[in-house]
């Protein structure tokens, strides 16, 4: 019994944290803040982002406020497991752009004692749960939903409204293509575009 308790006490405990919300809500800013705190605590950290996200920089994770931290761009979630060696904390930005294997990757990392911090859009521009985010959120111990401010009425925004006519699911963009909207303004904008 004593040996069993000693072994359990020395094993690292991992978990999954998710930061989700609409565009311009501060998801990446919060991810960077948590990762920098882990670095300050002298923990080994590694940050990953999807290779397709080149809006601000090829390698850096950059917030809209121009806060940044070095990352490793990867083509698929399985690459994260290959590259996350001897780490205490793994950060994953723009998680909605990864494949559905991200859920298993996050669970495997957490089960091996790694703190996993995932940031991503919870819904796409149509208001539908986006990519692997629902699965990651379901498996997470901690979920933080952050909000932007609605560009139409000033209330809390939780939708990313696309202002262009392009219909493809993945369209990297900024304020020229997207605006944060609350539920009521988002539904009104959707209804207006149907008319």
The pTM (predicted TM-score) of the whole model is 0.85
Least confident of 3-7, 17-21, 67-71: 3-7
Summarize pLDDT for 76-91 with one digit per residue, the tens: 999 999 999 999 999 9
Return the percentage of the chain with pLDDT > 70, whole number: 78
DSSP state of 122: S
Residues 6+ apart with CB under 8 A from 182: 150, 152, 153, 155, 156, 157, 158, 159
The sheet that has 72-74: what strands, in order across it?
Answer: 72-74, 45-50, 89-92, 115-121, 15-21, 142-146
Listed residue (154, 156, 155, 174) closest to 164, CA to CA: 174
Domains defined along the chain, listed by start: 2-148 (3.40.50.300)
Positions marked catalytic: 94
């Amino acid at each position: 019994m004593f040996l069993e308790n000693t072994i359990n006490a020395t094993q690292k405990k991992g978990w999954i944290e998710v930061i989700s919300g609409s565009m311009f809500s501060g998801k990446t800013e919060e991810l960077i803040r948590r990762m920098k705190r882990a670095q300050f605590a002298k923990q080994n950290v590694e940050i990953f982002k999807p290779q397709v996200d080149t809006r601000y920089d090829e390698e850096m994770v950059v917030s809209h406020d121009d806060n940044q931290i070095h990352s490793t761009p990867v083509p698929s979630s399985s690459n994260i497991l290959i590259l996350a060696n001897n780490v205490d904390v793994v950060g994953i930005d723009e998680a909605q752009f990864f494949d559905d294997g991200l859920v298993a990757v996050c669970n495997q990392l957490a089960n091996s004692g790694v703190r996993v911090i995932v940031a991503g859009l919870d819904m796409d521009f149509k208001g539908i749960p986006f990519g692997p985010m629902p699965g990651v959120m379901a498996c997470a111990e901690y979920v933080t939903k952050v909000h932007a401010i609605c560009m139409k009425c000033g209330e809390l925004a939780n939708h990313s409204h696309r202002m262009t006519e392009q219909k493809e699911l993945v369209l990297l963009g900024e304020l020229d293509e997207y605006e944060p909207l609350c539920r009521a303004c988002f539904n009104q904008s959707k209804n207006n575009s149907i008319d």
